[in-house]
Each structure stands twice: as C-alpha cells, then as structure tokens.
Amino acid sequence: MRGFRKKNRPVDIDDISIVDQSKSKQAIIAAALGNAIEWFDFGVYGYVAYILGKVFFPHASPSIQLIAALATFSVPFLFRPLGGIIFGRLGDKYGRQKVLSTTIILMTLSTCAIGLLPGYETIGIWAPILLLVIKILQGISVGGEYSGAVIFVAEYAPDRKRGFMGSWLDFGSIAGFLLGAGTVSLLTYLMGAEKFNDWGWRIPFIISLPLGLVGMYLRHALEETPAYQQHSESDQKQKKFSFKELLATHKRSLLLCIGLVLCTNVTYYMVLTYLPSYFTHNLHYDEAQGNLIIIAVMIGMLFVQPLIGWLSDKWGRRPFIFIGSLALIFLSYPAFKLLDSHESSLIFSGLIILALALNMLIGVMASTLPALFPTAIRFSALAIAFNISIVIAGLTPTLTATLVESSGNLMIPAFYLMVFGVVGIITAINLKETANKPLFGAAPLATSEEEAAELLEEFHGTIEERIEKIDEKILALQKKRQSLADKHPEID
C-alpha cells in the first residue's frame, strides 16, 4: 500500500494508495456490524420501553412509566461526549482499528447486561439505578463507536465509491434496528404478550452477546486504514490535541458537522425510536399492527439506503441533504396527519414519507462527515462534534413524549421535525461538495492503477483551480493596495 510520505513535495502516482477491494468490503462489514449492534439495542429498547417502565418504575402512572423509560434511554446521551473525547483522542494517537475493537466489547457487554438485570420487585430502587449505570457505560462506549466506524469506512473507501460504501454503515443501523424490532415482534408472537412482558423481553438484549463476539473478531482481523497509515508514516509529528485550537482552526467544519448530525439523528430517533410508543400510547393502535407497519417501512429503507449512497457519488452529497431537509419542513405535518388516520394504507404512506426523508440524510452522512476534518484530528474532532449533537438529538423521544403529554397536541412531533429541517437547509447551503474528492489533507485513494492516474490528474487540476483563485484574490488585493497607496504622498 502506497503512502503519502512527504508533506512539502509534489504528489505523484506513487503517493496514491491502491486499496484492495476485498479489504474495503471487510472494513464495511466489520464497521456496520458494530453499528448494527448499537441500533439493535435502540430498536429493542424503543419497542419494549413500556415494559421496562413497568419493570423498573412499577409504582408510577402509565404515562410517567413511559417517560421514565424513555428518559433512561436519553440520559446516557449526556455521557457520549465524554466517550467521544476519550476514544477520539485514542483513535488519533493509536489508530482506528484498536479503538473500534475496544468499543464493540464495551457496547456488547453493556447491552447484554440489561437483559440480566433484576427488576424493581427483586432489588428495589437499585434496579432503576443499575439500569441507568449500564446505559451510561453504554453511552460512553457508543461515544467512540459510530464516529470511529464512520472514519474507518471512509478511510478505507476509494474516493469515487465513498458515498456508496459509507451508506452501508447506516444500512447496518437500519438492519440492526429492524433485527431488534423483528426479534421483539417474533418473540411476542411465539411466547404471547403475557410471557414476553414477564421475562421474554430479556432475550433480545442477551442475543447481542454472540453478535458482538463476531464483530470483535472481524475488527481485530483488519489492518489499520490507509489514511491513518499514510499519516503515521509521514514526517508530521503528532500534536497534543487542543479543543481551543480545534475551535479556532475548524470552527466551520464543527458547525457543519453538528448541523448535519442534528437534522439526521433527530429524524432517526423520532421515526425509529419514538414512533412505536407514539402509536401504542398516544394513537391507541394495536401494538402488533403498528410494529408490523414500521418493520415493513424499514425493510424498504434497506433497499433505498445503498441507492442513495451510490447516487451521491454521481450527483454529490449536498442535493440529498437539501431534499431530505425540505421534506422535513414541508411534509412532516401531512405525514403525521396520515399517521393519525387510523387507516393502514394511509399510516403506511405517512411512514414512507418520513422514511424517505430519513434515507436522504443518512444515505450521505457517513461519507460527508469524515471529509470535514484532516487525518491527524479526524477522530477527535468528529467524535466531539458528533456526540455534542447526539446529546440534543438523543433527547428527542423524551422531549417529544413530554410535550405531547403536556400539550395534548399530537402534531408536536411534526413541528419538532420541521425545526430541524431548517437546520438541515442551513447546513446544506454552507457545505462544500466532497463527492469524488480525497479526504481532507489526504492523497487520493483508488482501486486500480488506471483509476489512480485519473484521480491524480483530477487532484492536480483541483490544485490548479485553487491556485488560480488565490492569484485572483492576490491581484485584487494588489489593486486595492495601489489604490490606497495612490492617496498617500509617501507610499509608492
């Protein structure tokens, strides 16, 4: 694998890494599986939130039980920035592969522990306390998981396929959520609601253990990413990470990252975590009916997800962020009206609208975010910005449930999505297109010698364009200087 060895010399064909496609596929599978486990837990938790409320908060009213269970889901998000700081720094210093092998172990063990935790009737107040502790530990591990997985795939992906390959990461998210929701529905059907509510809800959490062991094995077997190897082999010294310096030099990138993550993940948590409880508790739908409709929509999302990623390599990332954000602004209210129609076909249509808007955003997020930061600080910067945003986005189920309960307005979720649709539009306007370009500060990445030659020509062409723009600015400044100098008698 070729390395981008020198910082201050011409980039030639020997500097472009040729990536083995089989290794790229392995990287996608290993990263996506960890993401799937994360969202498997979210899917299960969202679908059994009402049961957890009864098990861990039995003396509260049904509404308070639901809000308390969702709050337990949301509180760990407050600790994700801590995990981002810890694992982000480790990922930039010691490599992406080592960190991802660690986070998947912590995440798997904490998810499994929920299924083994005694309820309130057995250990009293310690039950909800231990549940919260487990979720906090899970939040810390997840703080490094998604950011690391996004970077891992992006740094393994060739420039011309980064959108398509990155889209499979959130394919894993949807698949994991689908597997979690499907497991809950299947167990409820096989065991009956009474047995499932009594003890069967524990099984899905315990299932995460073998999944995590497979993911750990796959990640441990992979090499470090080409981009990180290039950085490690270069003569650039590892600087001590400074959040103050990050804000000073990459403020724009941080804000763009936060904006895209907020818009995408608020939609994600609204559609895939909050809606199951919204259907059952607020719209009073039959639980099985609501679950089956959402599962059907998620299956459709699986097919759309890689298509969006592939198209983004052709058309760019920004058009899809625009489309997804505009859909949230103008179609969220009609979609939630359809959800409240009590007709299966109309409910399905409303979910399709929301799901497609979500697909547009998550289809490009994994390929857009890593391109915002240079290799040396990519993990630290992305983990911090991503997890700060997740603190806000993760409160979506709890805040929405509370607002609906207090106001009695079933359209609150639609208004909530519309606000963050505006955030998405602002982000898209200020975002520079990154499709088919090397990652920030890295040499181009190709799949063959022929593609390497083409990328090198494009890379040099881009540099020429940038130099021309700088020359134009210099000329304009020179003219401005001369104009001012002409007004002064002692300046030539």
Residues 6+ apart with CB under 8 A from 65: 50, 53, 54, 57, 58
The pLDDT, as a whole number, for residue 163 is 93
Burial (CB < 10 A; 0-12, 13-18, 19+), residue 188, is buried
Whole-angstrom distance, CA of residue 376 vs CA of residue 228: 8
Q: How far is CA 107 from the centre of its chain?
A: 16
Give first-to-last CA distance, the chain, whole Å: 54
* Tens place of pLDDT per residue across the chain (492 aa): 444 444 556 766 666 767 777 777 888 888 888 788 877 877 787 678 777 777 777 766 676 766 777 667 667 778 888 888 888 888 888 888 888 888 888 888 888 888 888 887 788 888 888 888 888 888 888 888 888 889 988 888 888 889 999 999 888 888 888 888 788 888 888 888 788 888 888 898 898 888 888 877 878 777 788 778 777 766 555 555 567 777 878 899 999 999 999 999 999 889 877 887 788 888 888 766 666 777 788 888 899 999 999 999 999 999 999 999 999 999 999 999 999 998 888 988 999 999 999 999 999 999 999 999 988 889 889 998 998 898 888 888 889 988 998 998 999 999 999 999 999 999 999 999 988 888 887 777 777 777 767 777 777 777 788 898 898 899 989 888 888 888 887 776
* Angle formed at CA 372 by CA 367 and CA 377, multiple of 5 degrees: 110
The pLDDT value given to residue 157: 87
What whole-number distance in Å separates Cα of residue 54 and Cα of residue 490?
84
Residues 152, 375: Cα–Cα separation, whole Å: 11
Element of type H or E holding 71: helix 62-74
Does residue 292 contact residue 396 with C-beta atoms inside 8 Å?
no
* Residue 435 dihedral angles phi and psi, to the nearest 5°: -60, 140
d(CA 428, CA 439): 18
Cα(168)–Cα(393) distance, rounded to whole angstroms? 22
pLDDT at 6: 47
Q: Which two three-digit tokens encode residue 270?
A: 């609204």
E strand or H helix that includes residue 482: helix 449-485
